[in-house]
Structure 1
Amino acid sequence: MFADYSWGDLMSIFAMQGFAGLILFSVYVLMALGLAIIFGQMGVINMAHGEFMILGAYVTYLTSKLFAAFLPGLFGLYFFVAMILAFIASGGLGMAVEWLLIRHLYKRPLDTLLATWGVSLILQQLYRTVFGAREVGVEIPQWMMGSLTLTDTIEIPINGLFVMVLAIGISVAIYVLMYRSGWGLQVRAVVANRAMADAVGINTARTDRLTFGVGCGVAGVAGAAFTMIGSTGPTAGQLYIVDTFLVVVFGGAGNLLGTIVSAFSISQGQSILEFFLSGSTAKVLTLLTVVIIVMVRPQGLFALKLRK
C-alpha cells in the first residue's frame, strides 16, 4: 500500500489527509456533541438527529438568500446570523418534539428509536416538499474563499479552517454550559439521581426539554457549518447519523471529552484509509476496529460514573 510512494510523498499525503480528517472531525464533533447530550444525558436514541442538522443547513441557505437580496453590503456576516437562527430553529423544533412525543416514551429506548425514526422520515419529506429533492448550496462569503499555503504540496482551505475553529468554540461553550453553569449542574443531578433531583426541587421535565432542545440546537449549528464544506439535500443528514452514533458510543455516552477523542480517532483513521483504499473499505475497516474495541471495553473510551 505504501511501496509506491516516497517518504516525502507519504509525509505530504498524511499531512493533507490529516487536515481533511480534521474537517471531518469538526463535523463529527458538532453532530456528536448534540447527540451526546441527548443520548448520553437522557438515554434517548434520536434517529432524527441528522434531520435537525439539515434544518440548520436549510436555515443557513435561506439566510444567505435573504442577505444577498436585501442586505448585500452585509453579506460577509450572514453566516454568524445564520448560526444563531439555526440554533434557535433546530432547538425550538427539538423542544416541540420532546413535548409532543419524547416525554411520553422515556425509559422505553426501542419506542423512542422507532418514534424518532418516524420523525426523521416526516422531516425528510417536509424538506423535499419545501426545498425540492435536489441538493442546494450556499454562497461562501468572500473572506472564507481561498486557502493558506504551508508548503508546495500542502494547502489549507480557509473555510475548512473556519469550521475547525467553530467546532473548538462550540466544544468549549458546551463544556462551560454542562460543567460550569447552574443549568448544567441540574442536568448532571438529574442524570445521577432523577428521584433525588426531583425531591430537592429541580423541575426534571423542564430540564429534559431544555436538554433535548440544546442537543438539537447544536445539531443545527453543525448543519450551518456543514454548508461551508458541502451541499445540502433532504436526506443528507442520514449520511452522518450512523457515524455520529458510533462516535458517541465509542467515546462513552454522555462524556464530552470521550466524544471529542472518539471523533478525532475515527475521522483521522477514516480519512487516511480513504486515500489508499476505497471509501467503503475504509469505512468497514474503521467500523470493525471500533466494534472490536467496544467489545473489549463496552463502556467506551471514557465512562461516566453514575449512582446505582
Structure 2
Amino acid sequence: MFADYTMTELTSIFAMQGFAGLSLFSIFVLMALGLAIIFGQMGVINMAHGEFMILGAYTTYLTAQVFESVMPGLYGGYFFVAMILAFVVTFALGALVEWLMIRHLYHRPLDTLLATWGLSLILQQTYRSVFGAREVGVSLPDWMMGSIAVTDLVEIPINGLFVMVLSLLIAFAVYLLMFRSGWGRQVRAVVQNRPMAEAVGIDSGRVDRVTFALGCGIAGVAGSAFTMIGSTGPTSGQLYIVDTFLVVVFGGAQSLLGTIASAFTISQAQSTMEFFLSGSMAKVLTLLFVVGILMLRPQGLFALKVRR
C-alpha cells in the first residue's frame, strides 16, 4: 500500500489527510458533544440528533440568503448571526420535543429510540417539502476563502481551520458550563443520584428539559459549522449519526474529555485510511478497531464513576 510512494510523498499525504481529518474532527466534536450530553447524562438515544444538525444548517442557509439579498455589505459577518440563530432554533425545538414526547419515555430506551427515529423521518420529510430534495450550500465570506501554505505540498483551508477553532471554543464553553457552573452541578447531581437531588430541591424535570435542549442546540451549531465545509440536504444528518454514536460510546458516554479524544482518533483514522482504501473499507476497519477496544474496555476510553 505504501510501496508506490516515496518517504517525502508519504509525509505530505499524512499531513494533508491529517488536516482534512481535523475538519471531520470538528463536526464530530460538535455533534458528539450534544449527543454525549443527551445520551451520557440522560440515557436517551436520540436518533433524530442528525436532523437537529441539519436544522441548524438550513437556518444558516436562510440567514445567508437574507444577508446576501438585504444586507450584502454585512455578508462577511453573517455566520456569527447564523450560528446564534441556529442554536436558538434547535434549542427551542429540542425543549418542545422533550416536553411533548421525551419526558414520557424516560427509562424506556427502546421506545425512545423508535420515537426519535420516527421524529427523524418526520423532520427529513419536512425539510424535503420546504427546501426540496436537492442539496443547498452557502457562499463563504471572502475572509474564509483560500488557504494557508504550510509547505510546498501542504495547504490548510482557512474555512476548515476556522471550524476547528470554533469547535474547540465550544467544547471549552461546554466544559465550563458542565463543571464550573451551578447548573452543571445540578446536572451532575441528577446523574449521580436523582432521588437525592430531588430531595434537596433540584427540579430534575427542568434539568432534563434544559439538558436535552442544550444538546440539540449544540447540534444546531454543528450544522452551522457543517455548511462551511459541505452542502446540506434533507438526509445529510443520517450520514453522521452512526459515527457520532460511535464517538460517544468509544470515548465514554459521560465523559466530555473522552468524547473529544474519541472524535480525534476516529476522524484521523478514517481520513488517513480513506486515501489509501475506499471510504466504506475505512469505516469498516475503524469500526472493527473500536469494537475490539470496547471488548477490552466496555466503559470506553474515559469512564465517569457515578453512584448507583
Q: Calculate the TM-score normalised by the size of structure 1.
A: 1.00
Per the alignment, residue 227 of structure 1 pairs with 227
Equivalent in the alignment of 2:208: 208
- The aligned counterpart of 1:121 is 121
CA distance in 2, matches of 1:5, 1:139: 36
Structure 1 residues 112-137: Cα deviation after superposition (integer angstroms, max 9, x where no partner): 00000000000000000000000000
Could you tell me how far apart the structure 2 residues matched to 1:122 and 1:254 are?
29
In 2, distance between residues paired with 1:75 and 1:22?
26
Which AA in structure 2 matches 1:30? Answer: L
Partner Cα separation in structure 2 for residue 254 and residue 91 of structure 1: 21
3-state SS, counterpart of residue 122 of structure 2 = helix
Distance 1:265 1:157 in 2: 21
Letter in 2 for 1:26: S
- Partner Cα separation in structure 2 for residue 295 and residue 98 of structure 1: 33
How far, CA to CA, are the matches of 2:6 and 2:14 in structure 1? 12
Q: Are 2:50 and 1:58 equivalent residues in the alignment?
A: no
Q: Deviations over 1:93-150 (max 9, x none)?
A: 0000000000000001111000000000000000000000000001111100000011
Give the structure 2 partner of residue 95 of structure 1. Answer: 95
- Deviation of residue 304 (structure 1)? 1.0
Residue 98 of structure 2 aligns with an amino acid whose one-letter code is E
- 2:229 counterpart SS class: coil
Count the aligned residue pairs. 308
**Which structure 2 residues correspond to residues 36-51 of structure 1 after superposition, within 5 A?**
36-51=36-51
Task: Please say if 1:105 is aligned against 2:105.
Answer: yes
- Give, in whole Å, the separation in 2 of the partners of 1:303 and 1:253: 8
Equivalent-residue separation in structure 2 for 1:272 and 1:65 (angstroms): 35
- How far apart are the structure 1 equivalents of 2:179 and 2:233? 35
Partner SS, residue 148 of structure 1: strand
Residues 29-68 of structure 1, C-alpha deviations (whole Å, 9 max, x = no match): 0000000000000000000000000000000000000001
Q: Work out the CA distance in 1 between the residues paired with 2:301 and 2:112.
A: 25
SS at structure 1 position matched to 2:298 = coil
Query: Partner residue of 2:295?
Result: 295
Name the CA distance, whole Å, in 1 between partners of 2:281 and 2:61: 33
Provide the residue aligned with 1:5 in structure 2: 5
Match of 1:191 in 2: 191
Aligned partner letter, 1:2: F
CA–CA distance in 1 between the matches of 2:150 and 2:269? 23
Confirm whether residue 20 of structure 1 aligns to residue 20 of structure 2: yes
How much has 1:217 moved relative to structure 2? 0.1
Q: What RMSD, in angstroms, separates the aligned Cα atoms of the two structures? A: 0.4
CA distance in 1, matches of 2:281, 2:237: 21
Residue aligning to 1:80: 80
3-state DSSP of counterpart to 2:223 = helix
Secondary structure in 2 matching 1:156: strand
Q: Distance in 2 between matches of 1:149 and 1:300?
A: 37
SS at match of 2:56: helix
Counterpart CA distance in 2 for 1:92 and 1:121 is 19
Letter in 2 for 1:243: D
TM-score under structure 2 length normalisation: 1.00
Structure 1 residue runs of 4+, over 6 Å off? Answer: none
Q: Percent identity over the alignment? A: 76
